[in-house]
Chains A and B, each alone.
Chain A
Amino acid sequence: MSKLVYLKDVVTLQLNSESCSGCAMCATVCPRGVFEISHRKAKVADRDACIECGACAQNCPEGAVSVRVGVGCASAVINSMLGINNSGCCSMDQYENDKAAAKGTGC
């Protein structure tokens, strides 16, 4: 099955090639295979696959990647709009969600 992708042209991922050293850390941590390394530079190869988890930005030693981090979860957005705190899918049904997440699914 090919990779599932969400909406087109919407994510906030930014890569500054100039400061990139080609260390490939971003490609290592990305759970969505967004980056490719060619000629000792990182390249955003599959932008729409990005889920804005922030792993790449956290782990780029050159600070060449930036992204507005968030969880793509509609119920969390609704809860925060309604002023219900503790939002975030992760806190809703702790155990069941965690069980799936621990297996490598989202939350």
Chain B
Amino acid sequence: MRYKIDPGLYALGAPDADSPVLISASFKMSFDLLREALPARNAWVLVLDTDGINVWCAAGKGTFGTEELAGRIESCGLSRVVKHRKIIVPQLGAPGISAHEIQKLTGFKVAYGPIRASDLPDFIDSGLKARPGMREKTFTTGERLSLVPVEIVHAFKNFLMVLPLVFLLGGFSGQGMFVANALRFGGATALGLLMAIAAGCLVTPLLLPWLPGRAFSIKGLWPGITFGVLFLVLRNIVSALPAASTLESAAWMLLIPAISAYLAMNFTGCSTFTSLSGVKKEMRWAVPAQIAAVVLGAMLWITSVFI
């Protein structure tokens, strides 16, 4: 793994026996963010073996955990390196760490640091006290946008898998040459699917706080419906293709919202405010509805090709 660094004790600047000790994960970016947040400061960084995974995810898996932390404090001889008995653990590591257990096992007292590494200097300077706001996970537009590329790549893989079928069926549409049809009608269909992906993977994350509904599938429905209509407008007015039949239009108004809702539902994992209980509850009704809409939409669309 390229993004892994070796576990162990690192020195930032020239730390001594009184310098603060920060705990981090063996994911390179976690370490780098820490280092960037503390320019020109002396501190110890104890890197736990999290298999190259960030603090939050590793805490969820348990690799950023009590046992690993206690063991690493021991094996690095931290009690001989520093005189004090305080370690700063990132707050997002708390799901994996039991602070009172650590104190019992090692004698070190855990101070949970702020969520964002950039708040660390402030936290340290105010005597390991977090200001209001430092303890809450945000989900800003920028944070949401940074996740969009991953989502699009995922969706795109599935899109490429259905693409041959799309062009094949396109070939049977309309009159005229098979290849020409495949390109014209297949191209239009591909555009429809791309717009569904854009609705679910780009527009939904971007507008997340403002889209009506609490379930992500419902949030994803609105961009889906909008893009469904937009697609039909493009398809019928802008392109030189003959207008879509009622059957085909109905098919698109099922397919685009359903795909968008499904992709939006998958954004739950990227978000910072969903629970597993909630996701399971949403999926109980949302997945059957999405499957029904996609199957029905696909059937209508295929029928519209052949009549």
Contacts and interface: CB of A to CB of B under 8 A. Distances in A.
Interface stretch (B15-23, B164-172, B261-269): B261-269
Contacts of A70: 275-277
A4 B270 CA distance: 14
Contacts of B29: 98-99, 102
Contacts of B59: 55
Nearest to A31: B137
A58 B150 contact: no
B154 to A, nearest CB: 8
Chain A contact patch, size range? 35 or more
B224 to A, nearest CB: 16
A102 B93 CA distance: 11
A5 interface: yes
Interface in A23-77: 25, 28-33, 49-55, 58-59, 61, 68-77
Contacts of A99: 29, 146
Given A59-B94, A102-B29, A49 B273 contact: yes
Contact of B55 (A1, A25, A102): A102
Given A72-B279, A102-B54, A28 B270 contact: no
Nearest to A33: B136
A96 B60 CA distance: 18
Contacts of B280: 77
Q: Give the dominant DSSP class at B's interface.
A: helix
Nearest to B146: A100
B33, B137, B214 — most chain A CB neighbours (10 Å): B137
Contacts of B57: 88, 90, 97-98, 101, 107
Q: Give the dominant DSSP class at A's interface.
A: loop
A10 interface: yes
B95 A88 contact: no
Interface in B53-107: 53-57, 59-61, 91-92, 94-100
A88 B278 CA distance: 16
A31 to B, nearest CB: 4
Contacts, number: 204
Chain B contact patch, size range? 35 or more
Contact of A7 (B92, B146, B214): B214
Contacts of B54: 90, 98, 101-102, 107
A83 interface: no
B29 to A, nearest CB: 5
Contacts of B208: 4
Contacts of B117: 104
A74 B270 CA distance: 10
Contact of A98 (B3, B116, B149, B270): B3
A20 interface: no
Contacts of A93: 150, 153-154
A11 B277 contact: yes
B198 interface: no
A88 B272 contact: no
Interface of B: 1-3, 27, 29-30, 33, 52-57, 59-61, 91-92, 94-100, 112, 115-117, 130, 135-139, 143, 146-147, 149-150, 153-154, 208-209, 214-216, 265-266, 268-283, 287
16 contacts: A3-B273, A4-B139, A4-B208, A6-B214, A10-B275, A10-B278, A31-B115, A31-B272, A33-B135, A55-B94, A59-B99, A71-B276, A74-B282, A90-B54, A97-B147, A105-B137
Given A33-B136, A78-B283, 13 more contacts: A6-B274, A7-B278, A31-B137, A58-B95, A59-B100, A74-B269, A74-B279, A89-B270, A90-B61, A94-B3, A95-B3, A106-B137, A106-B139
